[in-house]
Amino acid sequence: MPLVELSDVHKSFHRDSQVIEIFTGLDLGFEAGSFTAIMGPSGSGKSTLMNLIAGLDKPTSGTITVGGEAISGYRPAQLAGWRSRHVGFVFQSYNLLPVLTAAQNVELPLLLTSLRKSERRERVEVALGVVGLSDRMDHYPRQLSGGQEQRVAIARAIVSDPTLVLLDEPTGQLDAKSAAEVLELLRRLNEEFHKTILVVTHDPHAAQKAKVVLHLEKGELLEKGAVAR
């Protein structure tokens, strides 16, 4: 059974009096340990798909199951708790809190756990070590380059050892060198640490690093009923 499974997922938005259909019966699955890139033009539903899998949004109908849990039926409070345990998020514009140091930003998801301060500190050091920023722990985001900021964001996403790491255009604001470093890091996370990674991207170079590339167009998956392995 896939780690993530979407069955007959429908999603529509209301804009004024109009109903905009994004997905009409989407079926899709991701195996544990997969590294998938979802590509597609703007408006194809990539970000909506990621929001649904992350439990930030709910489908109009259909079922989304992650690790055997049918999250599509969860209430918002349940979803928040579930996200803190199972989802690591990386955004296009890093979204680090400017008033916190790199270490403090990485520690944020751990504040929702029952870990002791020393355990949290240990995990933060490991996560920043994995992304190669052990020497930047006490730097504030304004003191880091874009690539470093994105690596801190990745450390924040993996620090709680989530089931899934979701990345929305992670190289969208980076120069070529920084983008290559980030993509290499994602490859390592997948191959060495067996993280299940889903990347939404426009960037063909980013997609090349993935083991599976899926294409969305107008809410339709070109690879029908695909299961990314």
Could you tell me the sign of the dihedral formed by the alpha carbons of 66, 50, 173, 216, in that order?
Answer: positive
**109 CB-near residues (< 8 Å, 6+ apart):** 84, 88, 156, 159, 160
List contacts with another protein (CB under 8 A). Answer: 51, 54, 56-57, 76-77, 80-85, 87-89, 91-93, 95, 97-100, 103-104, 107-109, 111-112, 120, 156, 168
* Minimum separation from the CB atom of position 227 to another protein (A): 26
* Minimum separation from the CB atom of position 229 to another protein (A): 27
User: Does residue 77 sit in helix, strand or coil?
Assistant: helix
Tally DSSP H helices, then E strands, for the chain: 7, 11
* Minimum separation from the CB atom of position 69 to another protein (A): 15
* Minimum separation from the CB atom of position 27 to another protein (A): 22
CA-CA distances (angstroms) from residue 123 to 116, 117, 136? 11, 10, 15
Query: In terms of CB distance, is 112 or 222 closer to another protein?
Result: 112
3-state helix, strand, coil in the chain (%, to 5): 40, 25, 35
Both tokens assigned to 22:
């994004």
* Minimum separation from the CB atom of position 100 to another protein (A): 6
Query: In terms of CB distance, is 23 or 82 closer to another protein?
Result: 82
Query: In terms of CB distance, is 76 or 204 closer to another protein?
Result: 76
